[in-house]
Structure 1
Amino acid sequence: MPYNNTPIAPSKDVTGTVSLPLARVKKIIATDPDVSACSNNAAFVITVATEMFLQHLVEQSYNIVKSERKPRRNIQYRDVANAVARVENLEFLADVVPKTMTMKQFKQKQAKEDAARPASGTNGTGVNGQGTLDSHLGAKATEGQAVNGASHEESMEVDEDEEEEDDEGGEEEAQEPEQVDDQDRSGDDETSKSPEPPKAKPGEDHAMEQS
């Protein structure tokens, strides 16, 4: 018994039901960590939008099938991939539905990539002088680390010199108060000794009395 591949046209009347299983759509939504809660109305609207998007994707894929020399009645994976590659509003699915390639094409592509890797320079520059973003960022990071390390060592040396100067200055300041104390003590000794009055001679006193 042949498979019945007669297309079923979607109903244009609003019936309030969807063809996709609503319970499964709710489970898929619940697996999203960014969605804390989803109401039944929101899940229904998402299901309707998904159904409409699938209809549009299948319609564009069927247009690709009709454009071939030998049109077919069924849609294959390559038809969907060609529709994603050709239709502008389906280009965001290029990573989800990539074009298929044979094992021979895959091996040739891998061989070209392996041959291009040894030709690249050690510093991340290619054959034509083109560089990669990772190599430039890595070089800048190493230069920044070297500069930061040198500045850190210089700052440590400066701090050590300042500490030595502070120690020397502290010793000099400690010696200066001792000298000041010695001078103060000598000054106090001198002031404590009162000067003795000069002694007058007897002849001078007699001459002054006669005058």
Structure 2
Amino acid sequence: MPYNNNPIPRPGGISGSVSLPLARVKKIINADEDINACSANAAFAIAVATEEFVYYLTEQAHKMGKAEKKPKRALGYNHIQQAVARLDNLEFLTDVVPKTIPYKEAKAERERKKAAQVAAAEANAEANGGPSTTNGQRTLPDAIIANGEGPAPPVQATAGAQRSEVAHADAMDVDRNGAS
């Protein structure tokens, strides 16, 4: 015996009540930082419009389910995704309802992105004159560290009167060699 694949009929007309809880609709509206206040009538209108949108989306998804070779009894994510992908007026939902891909493809895509990031970091390091870590800090090559060679430690100035004498000597040398 075939299944009943007919959609549930839409209620006839606006009766003054909605299926969505108005308190939740008001909470969602108040969560938006751009809206200071919302009247009860506006919240009701938004709830009615949301219900109409949900009816339309499920109706279109139901049509996608019926169009399959072997129609399904229940709607699935793929039916909604097909409706979003095929209908122009639902195109704004493409980011919210993306096309599903198999796990192997998703894993391979993630690996490609990771390899591209590593290659970009290495290319950036070479352009900047040496090896680099992923967070942008430069490191010494292993050969220099193994030989004990390396750059002189940087001279850091400290606050107040505790400045390094080396920093003063360099500054004085510049003053002596320069025009007096």
* TM-score when normalising by structure 2: 0.59
Cα-to-partner distance string for 1:115-167 (whole Å, 9 max, x where unaligned):
445279947xxxxxxxxxxxxxxxxxxxxxxxxxxxxxxxxxxxxxxxxxxxx
Q: CA RMSD in A?
A: 2.3
Alpha-carbon shift at residue 38 of structure 1 (Å): 0.4
Alignment of 1:19-34 (within 5 A): 19-34=19-34
2:111 maps to 1:111: yes
Structure 2's unaligned 5+ residue stretches are 125-180
1:17 aligns with 2:17: yes
Match of 2:158 in 1: none
Change (3 A) 1:102 1:45: same
- Quote the Cα distance in structure 1 between the aligned partners of 2:55 and 2:21: 16
2:152 paired residue number: none
CA distance in 2, matches of 1:86, 1:55: 17
Provide the residue aligned with 1:82 in structure 2: 82
Cα offsets for 1:92-130 (capped at 9, x unmatched): 11111112222211112123334445279947xxxxxxx
Partner of 1:97, secondary structure, is coil
The residue correspondences of 1:176-191 to structure 2 (distance < 5 A) are none
Contact 2:7/2:59 (CA < 8 Å) preserved in 1?
Answer: no
Give the whole-Å Cα distance in 1 for the aligned partners of 2:97 and 2:5: 23
In 1, the alpha carbon distance for the partners of 2:16 and 2:61 equals 27
1:78 and 1:119 map into 2 onto residues whose CA distance is: 36
Q: Is residue 91 of structure 2 the alignment partner of residue 91 of structure 1?
A: yes
Count of residue pairs the alignment pairs up: 120
Runs ≥4 in structure 1, deviation > 6 angstroms? none
Question: CA 1:23–1:93 in 2, change beyond 3 Å: closer, same or farther?
Answer: same
Matched-pair contact (CA < 8 Å) for 2:7–2:62: no
AA at the equivalent of 1:99:
K
In structure 2, the partner of 1:72 is 72
- Residue 17 of structure 1 and its aligned partner are, at CA, apart by 1.4
Q: Which has the higher contact order (CA 8 A, sep 6+)?
A: 2
**Match of residue 37 from structure 1:** 37
Deviation at 1:6, TM superposition (A): 6.9
Matches within 5 A, 1:191-210: none
What amino acid is the match of 1:78?
A: N
> Which residue matches 1:57?
57
Q: CA 1:40 to 1:66, structure 2 compared with 1: closer, same or farther past 3 Å?
A: same
CA contact (8 A) 2:20 2:47 kept: yes
Instruction: Give the letter aligned to residue 26 of structure 1.
Output: K
What secondary structure sits across from 1:84 in the alignment? helix
Change (3 A) 1:63 1:5: closer
Name the TM-score, length of structure 1 as normaliser. 0.51
In proportion to residue count, which structure has more helix? 1
What residue identity is the alignment partner of 1:108?
A
Structure 2 letter corresponding to 1:23: A
CA–CA distance in structure 2, aligned partners of residues 74 and 116 of structure 1: 41
Q: What letter matches 2:27 in structure 1?
A: K
Cα distance between partner residues in 1 of 2:42 and 2:99: 34
